Amino acid sequence: MTQLHIQHGRIIDPANKIDRVGDIYIVDGKIAALFEPPENFQADTVIDATGKVVCAGFIDLSTRLRDMGHSRKGTFKSETRAAASAGITTLCLQPDTRPAMDAASIAEYIKDLAEKANYPQIYPIAALTQKLDGVELSSMLSLKQAGCIAVSNANEPVKNLLILRRAMEYAASHDLLYICRPNDFSLSNKETIALAECLELAELTGCRVHFGQLSCKRSVIKIHQAKKYGLNVSADVAIHQLHLTENDIIPFDSAYHVLPPLRTEADKKHLRQGLANGTINSICSDHQPHDLDAKLGAFPETESGVSSLETLLPLMLKLVAKRVISLEQGIAALTHQPAQILRLPSGALTVGFSADVCIFDPELTWQINNDTWQSRGINTPFWGQTMTGRVTHTLQAGKIIFSLNN
């Protein structure tokens, strides 16, 4: 029996409406008690969290970890190490792996890679259509049975609305969450049109839909209206969209090349308001590590995406400092809310839950550079900047998977 004691930390647990200084007691990888020790408790390990925040481990709804066909950009080992250093204990892996996540055998292979990286809490998202080509439906039931937590077509549009309707009906029949990254390449990435189409089909099919990586004002308005009228939908936003706009882009700097693209100040304002008022449920990293070659060339010809696991916490804290959201709201958007979206028994410090815990110093400053960065991808527009707020310990199922001083 292993026993771990986290003492004197500011415990913030939005799921259980807790915000007070106290202790957490962990026994055999589970939360055994808060504030008062359980009977006969004798700690094997003690972590002093004085002056730090203690919360549930973060849950990231959108990541790419590379390896499969892209190991030069990142590996499960390098990227899960980055996730652990960022307080993230659960990762949702997008289906645009190589090959695409359209077969149970690929999902099983992902599990093997996760185990070898000593980071078992990686949930693959199944491909909605075979090879993500938007034409033929994947075998969603077998993918669910293989451990896939949801279905998605990643950034690829479905070829026509009838195929999308059949896919959503199939997902609904097996109670699978459909994660939609709304875009339509035939209409120059018109996010709101694709979102409106999916909302209509959600009402028609009864499918649970989560909209990933919203980027514009009209999308926030449409999601707000859909929730008002009772549709079973949720949404997230990538952390960089809450800070950067088209005005921040340095000419020819492909670190700013993201999909969806950076938009206007008005769009950023509405994304922030949507997060504050609950229209947007969660924040994700949308982590996409790239090597140098992928970001060389003319801006539109480079590959989109940023390496963003390690900036997730400090950029969330920056929103708190600017009074966009409260600290409790920010933590909820990274823990309790994504757990609810995925229907996972996690994202909270509830007694009996797996001890996925993040401990961070909200005042600690650090610079993003080669000495502090864990991800193999250094494609971030924040390179060289000084951040405030850093994780000191990360526990996954009661096991310390990251300690800042080790």
Enumerate the active-site residues.
286
Residue 165 CB: number of other CB atoms within 10 A?
17
Find out whether 106 and 98 touch, Cβ atoms under 8 Å. no
- How many angstroms from the chain centroid is the CA of residue 347? 12
Find out whether 8 and 49 touch, Cβ atoms under 8 Å. yes
Q: Give every CB contact of residue 338 below 8 A, 6+ residues apart in sequence.
A: 59, 60, 61, 90, 236, 281, 282, 284, 347
Residues linked to residue 7 through DSSP beta bridges, in sequence order: 48
C-alpha pair distances (Å), 370 with each of 142, 199, 367: 42, 43, 9
Give backbone dihedrals phi and psi of 29, rounded to 5 degrees, phi first: 80, 5
Enter the DSSP assignment of 179. E
Residue of 106, 110, 103, 99 lying closest to 75 (CA atoms): 110
Find out whether 106 and 99 touch, Cβ atoms under 8 Å. yes
What burial letters (b/e) apply to 18-55, b meaning 16+ CB within 10 Å?
A: bbeebbbbbbebebbebeeeeeeeebeeebebeebbbb
Residue of 274, 211, 268, 221 lying closest to 241 (CA atoms): 268
Residue type at position 25? Y
217-228 vs 265-277: helix axis angle to the nearest 10?
30
User: Which tokens belong to 275?
Assistant: 């997060």
Residues linked to residue 367 through DSSP beta bridges, in sequence order: 386
Residue of 113, 34, 132, 131 lying closest to 74 (CA atoms): 113
First-to-last alpha carbon distance for the chain, in angstroms, is 24
- The half-sphere exposure of 281 on its side-chain side, counting CA atoms within 13 A, is 21
